[in-house]
Amino acid sequence: MRVLEGESLSVPPLWMMRQAGRYLPEYRKTRAQANGFLDLCYTPDLAVEVTLQPIRRFGFDAAILFSDILVVPDALGQDVRFEEGHGPRLEPIDPARIGEFAGKDVVGALAPVIETVGRLREELPSETTLLGFCGAPWTVATYMVAGTGTSDQGPARRLSLGDPEAFGQLMDILVEASTAYLVAQLEAGADAVQIFDTWAGVLDEEGFRRWGIEPVRRIIEGVRAKVPGAKVIAFPKGGGARLAAYSEGTGADAIGLDWAVPLAAARESVGGKALQGNLDPMRLIVGGKALDEGVDSILEAMEGYPHIFNLGHGITPDTPVEHVEAFVKRVRGL
């Protein structure tokens, strides 16, 4: 939280995207108790346990709520399911029926998730930051339109260009739902929130401004209208050369970086705001010299700058636990 206020620390705070996940044996054991992935997200006993597991094992400086970005379309009434080995499957939306998603009580539908947040704040050590999150409207919309993940998010791009009015209506609904959802998480005990825009990098310049920057700006403004001073991290994967526009346009307190972003350029782009990232997850898989060199390079580049150490994207299931242990020690100078 001090870094989000703009303070530079000699040892940067550390957490990892997807830190509570399939690389941990204790996660797999807990996962087996649930009747599917969404059941895991919607069962507070299990979601609390999964969120706490990496804190117990590694002592990260932040715990991030165990959930998924697609709980929002599920709460809106879209058919969402997760198939083992294939990931999310949604019933693709009919553009003519987008209006049926409007006005839904998303916070009420996600009451189990909000309960999880409140219980986590009670159970976490006082020094451990609790992060809530949601998906950015653009990224969530790509799954809603296509019904699954695709390599270039062509279905959503086609709809946004071919019928911008219908797509804009969908984005308005997601802005409203995401704002209410983040406010509820903060009011339940989250210290800060992160907005994940995993597919921002597939948009052209105009699309990035209209569908990447503007909806996130509206969410952040809406959240702060209800929770003054709320701290928000925004992660535009693939944002690259557009980081300056994204940082200024969204008003986020900190910008998450993928591993392809040069840190010197990022520092110049965001006007002194905190940065988060950006170790290549592949270095964590390989370990050894590749991991050490990656960590040391980031520490050197970010010395004297407000920085939260993280990966450039989520940790993958094939990551050895001992490499994570080495990673934590290296960052902390142990």
- Catalytic residue numbers read 18, 22, 31, 68, 143
> Which pairing describes strands 254-256 and 307-311: parallel, antiparallel, or unpaired?
unpaired
CB 310 within 8 A of CB 17: yes
What is the total residue count of the chain? Answer: 334
Give the 3-state secondary structure of residue 217: helix
Segment holding 121, helix H or strand E? helix 111-123
Q: What Rg do the C-alpha atoms of the chain give, in angstroms?
A: 19
What is the rounded distance in angstroms from the CA atom of residue 94 to the CA atom of residue 166? 10
**Residue 299 class from Cβ within 10 Å (0-12 exposed, 13-18 middle, 19+ buried)?**
middle
What is the rounded distance in angstroms from the CA atom of residue 193 to the CA atom of residue 196? 10
What is the rounded distance in angstroms from the CA atom of residue 195 to the CA atom of residue 215? 11
Give the 3-state secondary structure of residue 289: helix
Residue 99's Cβ-side half-sphere holds a number of Cα atoms within 13 Å equal to: 2
SS3 content of the chain, % helix, strand, coil (to 5): 55, 15, 35
How many Å is the maximal CA-CA distance in the chain? 58
